[in-house]
Each structure stands twice: as structure tokens, then as C-alpha cells.
Structure 1
Amino acid sequence: MDLKQKMELAYDTKIDNFGNKIEFSYPNETVAISTTNSECFLKCAHCNGHYLKNMTPINDYENKIKSKNVSSFLISGGCNFDGDVPINKHIDTLKKLKEEGYKLNAHLGLMDEESINKVCKYLDIVSFDLVFDKDTIKEVYKIDKNAQDYITAYETIKQNTEVAPHICIGLKGGEIKGEYEVIEYLSNNPPKKITFIVLIPTKNTEYEKVSPPDLNKVADVLCSARISLPNTEINLGCMRPRGEYRSELDKIALMCGVNKIVLPSRSAKNKAIEMDMNITEGKECCVL
């Protein structure tokens, strides 16, 4: 079928399973904290540590929340050379945050089984990037890992807490490579929720000069996910290009049957009204 037909099927699938509703998320009550400050060993091709600079260092989080209404935390950080985020060194902080009643989401990366077992006791959910294409893993993350390494970590986390797979569309310099394989894998045991993000060509990274993936190709991936995962909540996450690209992407995502859009563009809000959708708003990270 062509893309127009696929979008119609995807949207009908969403209506059949979730109704004509959309959530717009404005995660002001979630604080993102980094366990490595702004440091990352891997210097990945798409990030180079840039996005860690917007996070609060884990040792400073108490000062950060004094003047804010905070209900949850996203705990992340830079990866080491094995591809895992060293959250396991901050078990005491995780325990303290849980005892104080906060909801916790975390990026663990390719953490080992023992550490996963310890850390997940305190986590409500894990956001886990699934990447299957070996060339992409090597080019972007600079590590010698493969799809099975990601599957092993994902399945281990699943045994310990809820996990929301994340797929970055166009991760390999704007190319679509491996995304459909991840969707096919997930369709065999569908998760409760999944988040899609889209490559942002970021200044001072190897991918600074690339173009984000073609919008029609992004739409096709989103539709494939909606059709293959009819009962899974599909989020369009905060990490996606801004400007005109985001304006068009957000409208397309509505028509592809997503359930939630983080920090939606004005055009998406107008489109949702035009489509007579039942709009709700959230105040936390998209998987919480």
C-alpha cells in the first residue's frame, strides 16, 4: 500500500484501540539529572555530550527542586566504553528519591545483569534505546556491540521493572536503518508503551551537517509501529528537530496514530482541534 493508505490504516487502528484522543505533554514536573555531569566517554556522533549540558548534575538536584513543583526524575548521564550509564554508583540517591515519593525513570544503556537487578528495585520505568543495526552502533556509539547485546539488556530490564523501548528514527546520519527490525522484534511481545525520537543534526557533532530523515520516511516508520503494535501507546518524544520540520512532523504524527506528543508545535495543537480530537495534557516525562 502507498503511504496515504498506510496512514489511514494506522489512524483507524489507533481509533479502534484508543479512541480519538491525544495527550500533549509538557514535562515541567520532571527534572532530568545526570550521573556524569556533562561528561561522556563515547562522544557519540549524534550528541557528543551536548544534551548532558541541559541536565542537572546529580549532586545538585536538591538545589534544583527547591523552587519547582517536581513529581519525578529522569536519571541519565554519559555512557562508558561498554555502553552503560553508571547509575549503579548512585544507589543511595535512587533509594532516597523513592522514599521521598518521587517517580523515577532512567536510561541504563547496556548495563550488566547484576547492576540492572540492583538499580531497577528503585525505578518505576526504564527508557531503553533499542538499536539493532551493527553499522549504526559502531558509527554512532563507537562501541563493538550488536543487536543481541541490546536484546539481552532489554529483556533483563523487563524482568525487573517496566521498560519503554525508544527508537531514534534516522539515527545513522539521517538514514533509516534497522528501525523496522526493532518494530518487528517488539511485535512478538508488545510493550505497554514505546517512544520514538528523531535525529537532530546538532552543532559540534559529527552529524552537524546531515539532514534529518525525510518526513515521509518518518511517517512510514510511525505507521508501521502503529499497525504492528495496535495496543501499544506510541509517544513522539522531545528529542526531534525544531522549526518547520517539527511543525510538519507533529501534524503527520497525529495522522499516523500516535498517542502522545511531547512539547507539541502550535500546528499540532491546531491540527488536533481541526481533527476534533479529545486533548489532554500531561506534566511529566512522556513514559511516566
Structure 2
Amino acid sequence: MNISSKMKSALEIKNRNFGNKIEFSYPNETLAISTTNDSCNLNCAHCNGHYLKNMTPIDSYNEKVKTRNISSMLLSGGCSFEGDVPINSHVETLKKLKKEGYKLNAHLGLMDEESIKNVCKYIDVVSFDLVFDKETINEVYKIDKNKEDYIETYENIKKYTNVAPHICIGLKGGEIKGEYEIIDYLSQNPPEKVTFIVLIPTKNTEYENVSPPNLDKLADVLCEARIKLPNTQINLGCMRPRGMYRKKLDNIALQCGVNKIVLPSKSAKEKALEMDMIIFETKECCVL
């Protein structure tokens, strides 16, 4: 099936199961918190700690909530050498945040089951990156893990709270590698939501000079997800390249049958209106 036929088929599935509507998310009411300030042990090829610098240190969240209308928190941070995010050392803060009425989304990474059980008592949903390709795991994260480690962690999290799998398209330096295998795995027991993000070639990282994934190939991945996961809410997350690439990507995503786009480009709004979509706007992180 060529890509235009596949996109048509994907959009028909989405309209049949969800209606001709789209959600645009502007997550101003979700505060991104780092449990490790701006430090990370892994210095991954695609990030090198860059994105932690934009997050609020966990000990300073009080100042931020005084100046912004915050209803939820995204808890994240740098990873240990085992690939987990050390949130379990902040359980008392999690308890406090829940008591104060915040909804909590968290990145846990490859956390052990006992810690997952402990932390997830206070977490509404976990955003969990699934990576199956061994070469990608080694090259990007520099850790000796494999797809079985990711599957085990994902299945453990599901025992204790809601989990929204995340798939980074083109994670291995812009190549599509392992994404289809993840979609096939998820199709065996479809999640309620799945979020796709896209590699951003980021300055001062190993991948700063690579190209983001080819848009036709990216469209094929999104269509495959819609076809194999017909009743799953598919989100296009905030982590994706900006500029002209984003404009083209967002328009393509609409035609591939996604349900939600975070921080959509202006052209995405225009395209949605052109497609006679009913537009809804929300103010929190895409999985909340």
C-alpha cells in the first residue's frame, strides 16, 4: 500500500472510532519537575542533559506554583547508570503533591519492581519510553539493556498504575529502527493511550548534525500505529523538531489519524479547519 492510501485508511479508522475531532494541547498548567536538577549520568546521544535545564528542580516547585496556574506535574530527571530515574527517593514529596491535589505524570525509566510499587501509589500515569532495538539502546543511552528489560518494566508499571507508552520515531540518529516491532507488541494488548515523539537534532549532543526522520517514513509509522491500534488514543507529543519540519509533520499527523497534538503549529490549526475537524483545546500534558 502506498503512503497516500495508507494515510487515507488510517484517517478513516480514526474517524470511525473517534469521530472527526482533534485535540490541541497547550500544557501551561503542567509543571515539569526534575528530581536530579540538571544532572544525568548517561549523557545520551540525543539529549546530553540539555532538556533537564528547562525543568524546575523538585526542591523549588513551590516558587513556580505561586506564579502560575498549575494543576498537574510531570516528574522526570536524569537517569542512573541502570537507566532508572531516581524518583523513589522523593516519595515524601510525591505524597505532599498528591495531598495538595495535583495530578502526577512521571518518567520512571527502567525502575525495579519494588520501587515501581512504592512510587506508583502516588502517580496517576507513567510516561514510559519503549525501545526495542538493541543497537539503539546501546548507541543512544550507553547502557547494556535490551528489549526484554523494557518489556519487563512496562509490564510491571501496568500492575500498579496507568501507563502511556512513548515511542520516539527516529531515535537512532534519525533512522526508523524498532518502531514497528513496538507497535506490533502493543497491538497484542492495546494501551488506552500512546504518545509518539520525534528525534530533535539538538546542539551539543552526538546527534546535533543528523537529520530528523524522513517525513514519508514517519507518516508510515503513524499510520501503522493507527491501523494496528484502532481504539487507542494516539498523541503527537511536544518533543519534536520545530520550524518548517514541524509544520509539515503536524499536517501529516492530522491525516494519519492522530487524536491529539501538543503545541500544534499554526498550519495544523488551518489544516484541521480545512478538514472540517472539531477542535478541542486542553491545558495539560498529553497523557493527562
Matched residue of 1:95: which SS? helix
Which ranges in structure 1 are unaligned for 5 or more consecutive residues?
Answer: none
Q: Which residue of 2 aligns with 1:120?
A: 120
State whether structure 2 residue 157 is matched by structure 1 residue 167.
no
Question: Between the two proteins, what is the percent identity of the paired residues?
Answer: 76
Q: Which residue of 2 aligns with 1:271?
A: 271
Q: Which residue of 2 aligns with 1:242?
A: 242
Task: For 1:113 and 1:260, locate their aligned partners in 2 and report how far apart those are by CA, in whole Å.
Answer: 31
Map residues 17-166 of structure 1 onto 2, 5 A cutoff: 17-166=17-166
1:269 Cα offset (Å)? 0.3
1:285 Cα offset (Å)? 0.1
Matched residue of 1:196: which SS? strand
CA deviation string 1:196-240 (max 9, x = no partner): 000000000000000000000110000000000000000000000
Q: State TM-score, norm by structure 1.
A: 1.00
1:67 Cα offset (Å)? 1.1
Task: For 2:113 and 2:236, locate their aligned partners in 1 and report how far apart those are by CA, in whole Å.
Answer: 29
Task: For 2:123 and 2:15, locate their aligned partners in 1 and report how far apart those are by CA, in whole Å.
Answer: 32
Matched residue of 2:177: which SS? coil
CA deviation string 1:6-28 (max 9, x = no partner): 00000000001000000000000
CA deviation string 1:46-75 (max 9, x = no partner): 000000000000000000110111000000
Matched residue of 1:126: which SS? strand
Which ranges in structure 2 are unaligned for 5 or more consecutive residues?
Answer: none
Task: For 1:64 and 1:143, locate their aligned partners in 2 and report how far apart those are by CA, in whole Å.
Answer: 34
Given residue 58 of structure 1, which amino acid in structure 2 is its aligned partner?
I
1:150 Cα offset (Å)? 0.2
Map residues 178-257 of structure 1 onto 2, 5 A cutoff: 178-257=178-257
Task: For 2:10 and 2:43, locate their aligned partners in 1 and report how far apart those are by CA, in whole Å.
Answer: 37
Task: For 1:271 and 1:7, locate their aligned partners in 2 and report how far apart those are by CA, in whole Å.
Answer: 15
Given residue 287 of structure 2, which amino acid in structure 1 is its aligned partner?
V
1:283 Cα offset (Å)? 0.2
Task: For 2:5 and 2:68, locate their aligned partners in 1 and report how far apart those are by CA, in whole Å.
Answer: 45
1:178 Cα offset (Å)? 0.2
Q: State TM-score, norm by structure 2.
A: 1.00
Given residue 36 of structure 1, which amino acid in structure 2 is its aligned partner?
T
